[in-house]
Amino acid sequence: MTAKPATLSKRERQIMDLLYRLGRATAAEIRESLSGQPSDSTVRTQLRVLEDKGHVRHEELGLRFVYLPTVPRHSARKSALNHLVDTFFDGSHAKVVTTLLGSDAGRLSDADLDRIADLIAAARKGSR
C-alpha cells in the first residue's frame, strides 16, 4: 500500500513527525510526547489508522507494539510538497517560487539565493 501524506489529519501528522524524529516508538512514548494529553486508546486508534493507511508498521516487543514509519522522511516530504503544489498552486512550481520569493525574499541569504540560482541553472540544463 502506498502512503499519501495528504490524507493525514493534524494529529496523525504530529504522530508521524514524532516517529520520524524518534525512529521508532511505543504508543505510550508517543502519547507522552503529544500535546493535549490524548488517551492511550486514542493514540492506539490513530496508530492503527496510520497502519491501515500504510504510513506505519509495528513490531512486537514482548507485550508492546513498537511503531516505525514505512516511508522514508524524504519521500514523504516530496509527496506532501507535490500535494501542496497541486492543491494551493494549481500544480505550478513557478507560482510556489513566486510566492516564496515575493513574501520571504528578505529572509533569504546570499547563499540561499546562490543555491536557488544553481538549482534553476541545473534544471535548465536537464530540460534540454
Q: How confident is residue 44, by pLDDT bands cut at 50, 70 and 90?
A: very high
Say yes or no: 9 and 65 in one domain.
yes
For residue 121, what are the domain limits? 89-128
Q: 106: exposed, middle or buried (C-beta count within 10 Å: 0-12, 13-18, 19+)?
A: exposed
Say yes or no: 60 and 16 in one domain.
yes
Order of all β-strands in the sheet with 56-61: 25-26, 64-69, 56-61
Angle, to 10 degrees, between the axis of helix 40-52 and the axis of helix 10-22?
80
Number of domains making up the chain: 2
| Mean pLDDT on 36-51 | 94
**CA 94, chain centre distance (Å):** 22
Say yes or no: 63 and 19 in one domain.
yes
Show which of 19, 36, 69 is a domain's final residue: 69
Say yes or no: 65 and 93 in one domain.
no
Q: Given a cut of 70, is residue 104 above it in pLDDT?
A: no
| Contact indicator for 96, 89 with CB cutoff of 8 Å | yes
Q: Which of 59, 53, 69 is nearest to 18 (CA)?
A: 69
Q: Is 78 a member of any domain?
A: no
Q: Is 29 a member of any domain?
A: yes
Q: Given a cut of 80, is residue 93 above it in pLDDT?
A: yes
